[in-house]
Structure 1
Amino acid sequence: MRFEKLDLNLLVVLDTLLATRSVNRAAEKLFLSQPATSLSLRRLREYFADELLQSVGKTQVLTPLAVELVKPVRDVLLQVQAITRARPSFDPATSVRRFRIESSDYVISVLLSDVVRRAAKLAPLMTFDLRTRGPQTSEHLEGGEIELLISPEFAMVPGHPSEPLFEDGFSCLVCAQQFSERESLTANRYFASAHVGVEWGSGRVVTIDARLIATGSRARRQDVIAPSFTLVPELLVGTARIATLPTRLALQMARRFPLRVLGCPIKIPRFIEQVQWHRHQERDPAITWLRSLLREAALALPAEQSRAARRRRPAKRKPTRTAGNRQG
């Protein structure tokens, strides 16, 4: 089919060529032969009167026109995809959709683990590809490589809809053998102690608390950097180190390891995890259903208050019984 003298089938090839910058890799991704992909590239070059891909040394780079085409071509294909997925009804029990979701492993632990358990009962044929956020996450959402992004507000991708899921604060996680049950943590001890930090991805994405503390007047010494939240407990047990973690995750880890949750002695603002999806998938019934499942799981999250905080709360005093109110 042609539109404005362009064979629309070539748009899929063009999109893949722009993404891979390689005829061979595009052919593999499209399940086409290398000669067929080369022929498509030649036809695209003739239509646009531009090389699109140019050899620079041993690599292929996009021409200025090709760079300008990346986003509109991807948007057109995403809109076509949205049209093909538009259905008057959606049955999760029979759906075979595959959802790709990017978030931190913290969100996977405290929220998505429950979501996939619920989905196993409601939508047994669905599959979930859970990935950790990284430097390319924005491009992944823009390009339709993921269906959902879950992250704090500051990491949202501009131009796409989102909604809040749940709120959390920060607590300190320590080895139970190093800190007594009734011990509190002072700011001086906090900054004098060694810490376990978390940075993930090839671009070394840092956590919210690290970003905020870095702007303050006192430095925090991190002598161990973990590539994920889930490895933190192993690096705390048997040491006097401290980890500053979202409270819900800290409480979860303290139930599984010989660790203790303490109140954070410094003020770190609370944060809200939000879910975001591509603007062209606003009416996708499957994504709408999954968002509702996320909301249900978020509402079912246990309270984030730590046991240590509950112990420090003053007990309510019982009213004194006097001769006038005694019974019997």
Structure 2
Amino acid sequence: MQLDLNLLAALDALLEEGSVAGAAERLYVTAPAMSRSLGRIRRTTGDQILVRTGRTMTPTPYALAVREQVHDLLMQVQGVLAPSRELDLATLDRTFTLRWHDALVALSGPALLTAVREQAPGVRLRFIAESSIDTPELRRGEVDLAANADRPTAPEIRSDQVAETPHVIVVRHDHPLTHIETVTAARYAAAEHITVSRRGKLTNILDEELARLDLTRRVVATAPTERATLEFVRGSDLLVTAPECTARSVAADLGLVLLPLPFDLPPARAYLSWHQRYDTDPAHIWLRDLARTALTSAMRGQGQGQTAH
């Protein structure tokens, strides 16, 4: 059986876009031509690949199983056939999907988008929300670049620590703790807390550190994003412990005060993560460099101020 590499590109586009029309637009061919390619793929594989569900197309179990392998194969073929291709930012037409922590999007996303548009106006950025469960989008090629506080453990996922910032206490103006000359660990633990957790967890590393001091705290609520917790804090006597760089960026606008944490806590770190398939992709390397600069500049710049009563 003769292999047609055009079918590999068509299959990758169909699996990425989930529709004939989207795949056709991605590869700059007509919809009828893509439909014919889908027919040939179905005959070659003996699988329907995409089946209609109402107005949308749904990938079959086989399609889901081979999606990552197909994408990797296509990347390898393109690397072999065009290993010395230079990156032309002026004509680059590509969409990157970024799954970043919401606070990092707010803090450094605008600067990244500005830099991208200045250098490559044809590039689009899709920032998507973090999931409440661990998801394999990086491995499957659905996400190009992740940024959050966790270093990935999968061997095929690369990561760089780009910045770190200390934690601070965030309270409303005129909160009882703002009238105390020194906030002790005991007074901190005695206050009512809200935590940031997209999974709704009521405990985290803070509780482990307090336990070392024979202290416990009372967490009365969780919220999935840092901005949401700050809205709770601004109208109550709740406090939240947050990375200084992200809290300081909105504290003044929300009438919030930052207080120093009265015990040692490891700093909040930000990691950039991507699949190893993109290690030598010139466009991805370019985006990683811009993202690293935007995150480092934002976190270090915002984190240099001093907390105050």
| TM-score, scaled relative to structure 1 | 0.71
User: In the alignment, what sits opposite 2:55?
Assistant: none
Tell me the secondary structure at the aligned position of residue 308 of structure 1. coil
- Render the CA deviation track for 1:278-317: whole Å, top value 9, x for unaligned: 21211222222222223333443315245336x8xxxxxx
- Measured at CA, do residues 274 and 149 of structure 1 come closer, stay the same or move farther in structure 2, by a change above 3 Å? same
Task: Indicate conservation of the 8 Å contact 1:162/1:276, yes or no.
Answer: yes
| TM-score, scaled relative to structure 2 | 0.75
Q: After TM superposition, list the pairs within 5 Å mapping 1:31-180 onto structure 2.
A: 37=38, 40-45=41-46, 62=61, 69-80=66-77, 88-134=85-131, 138-155=135-152, 157-178=154-175, 179-180=177-178
Kindly state the Cα deviation for residue 190 of structure 1 after the two structures are TM-superposed.
Answer: 2.2
Q: After TM superposition, list the pairs within 5 Å mapping 1:201-212 onto structure 2.
A: 204=199, 210-212=203-205
Task: Give the distance between the partners of 1:123 and 1:112, measured in 2 at CA.
Answer: 16
Task: Give the distance between the partners of 1:41 and 1:176, measured in 2 at CA.
Answer: 64
Larger Rg: 1
- Render the CA deviation track for 1:243-300: whole Å, top value 9, x for unaligned: 1111111111212221000112343212431212221211222222222223333443
Task: Give the distance between the partners of 1:84 and 1:7, measured in 2 at CA.
Answer: 15
Between the two proteins, the alignment pairs up a number of residues equal to 288
Task: Give the distance between the partners of 1:233 and 1:255, measured in 2 at CA.
Answer: 12
Q: After TM superposition, list the pairs within 5 Å mapping 1:1-328 onto structure 2.
A: 5-11=2-8, 30=23, 37=38, 40-45=41-46, 62=61, 69-80=66-77, 88-134=85-131, 138-155=135-152, 157-178=154-175, 179-180=177-178, 183-200=181-198, 204=199, 210-215=203-208, 217=211, 218-300=215-297, 301-302=300-301, 304-308=303-307
Kindly state the Cα deviation for residue 10 of structure 1 after the two structures are TM-superposed.
Answer: 4.7
Gaps of 5+ in 1: 54-58, 312-328
Task: Give the distance between the partners of 1:74 and 1:226, measured in 2 at CA.
Answer: 36
- Measured at CA, do residues 135 and 233 of structure 1 come closer, stay the same or move farther in structure 2, by a change above 3 Å? closer
**CA RMSD of superposed structures (Å):** 3.7
Task: Indicate conservation of the 8 Å contact 1:87/1:285, yes or no.
Answer: no
Kindly state the Cα deviation for residue 241 of structure 1 after the two structures are TM-superposed.
Answer: 0.4
Task: Give the distance between the partners of 1:248 and 1:26, measured in 2 at CA.
Answer: 41
Tell me the secondary structure at the aligned position of residue 302 of structure 1. helix
Kindly state the Cα deviation for residue 35 of structure 1 after the two structures are TM-superposed.
Answer: 8.4
Kindly state the Cα deviation for residue 199 of structure 1 after the two structures are TM-superposed.
Answer: 2.3
Tell me the secondary structure at the aligned position of residue 197 of structure 2. strand
Task: Give the distance between the partners of 1:228 and 1:264, measured in 2 at CA.
Answer: 21
Task: Indicate conservation of the 8 Å contact 1:169/1:270, yes or no.
Answer: yes
Task: Give the distance between the partners of 2:243 and 2:263, measured in 1 at CA.
Answer: 14
Task: Give the distance between the partners of 2:295 and 2:15, measured in 1 at CA.
Answer: 38
User: Bigger shift: 107-116 or 76-85?
Assistant: 76-85
Gaps of 5+ in 2: 25-30, 51-57
Task: Give the distance between the partners of 1:136 and 1:194, measured in 2 at CA.
Answer: 27
Letter of the 1:164 counterpart:
Q
User: Bigger shift: 67-76 or 98-107?
Assistant: 67-76
- Measured at CA, do residues 172 and 86 of structure 1 come closer, stay the same or move farther in structure 2, by a change above 3 Å? farther
Task: Indicate conservation of the 8 Å contact 1:102/1:137, yes or no.
Answer: no
Task: Indicate conservation of the 8 Å contact 2:49/2:59, yes or no.
Answer: no
